[in-house]
Amino acid sequence: MPNYLGVDYGTKRIGLAWSDELGIALPIGAFPGVDVPSYLEKLREVVDQKKINEIIVGYPIHMDGTPGVRAKEVDVFINSLEEVFEIPVHRVDERLTSLTAEQAIGKKTVRRKKQNLGKIDALAAGLILSDFLESRNIIPPPFV
């Protein structure tokens, strides 16, 4: 079974989550986004360390189902990932993932938002990856 990397794209930060054969999406952190030239090197470290076979990127879609304003940016980002890593890169609807991540972290924590932006991005990446795993039925069976 492949190792997956969930990515919450951003110009300021890129959130990451990882899943292995267990099929559980685990947020693993965030680092400076595409505005920082070394972002691909940092991604390479994660891809190599976690032995990633497929990358899952959140894709900005409006509530009406049309591509969001940043969709072209994300398309360019995905093209660079495909060229650099030569592994499959999938798009997953990311509607409401950041909002859900903020809610999951809790209102107290969100008040200290500057301190928690990386956590929110990583959790959003985890939600993106979870959606992908669920859509592919790559989720662990429920505990009985």
Q: What local confidence, expressed as pLDDT, does residue 22 receive?
A: 81
Which range in 63-67, 112-116, 126-130 is most confidently predicted, on average pLDDT?
A: 126-130
- Mean pLDDT, residues 55-67 taken together: 87
**Half-sphere exposure (Cβ direction) of 13: Cα atoms closer than 13 Å:** 18
Q: What local confidence, expressed as pLDDT, does residue 106 receive?
A: 56
Q: How confident is the model at residue 104 (pLDDT cuts 50, 70, 90)?
A: low
**pTM to 2 decimal places:** 0.82
Q: Find out whether 3 and 50 touch, Cβ atoms under 8 Å.
A: yes
Q: Tell me the C-alpha distance between 51 and 84, whole Å.
A: 15
Assess whether pLDDT exceeds 70 at residue 66. yes
Give tens-digit pLDDT for 31-58: 989 899 899 999 999 999 999 999 999 9
Q: What local confidence, expressed as pLDDT, does residue 140 receive?
A: 54
| Ordered structural domains, the chain, with CATH | 4-135 (3.30.420.140)
Kindly report the number of other CB atoms within 10 A of residue 139's CB atom: 15
Assess whether pLDDT exceeds 60 at residue 111. no
Q: What is the mean pLDDT of the chain?
A: 83
- Mean pLDDT, residues 92-117 taken together: 58
Phi/psi of residue 92, nearest 5 degrees: -130, 135
The owner of tokens 């505990």 is 143
- Mean pLDDT, residues 15-37 taken together: 90
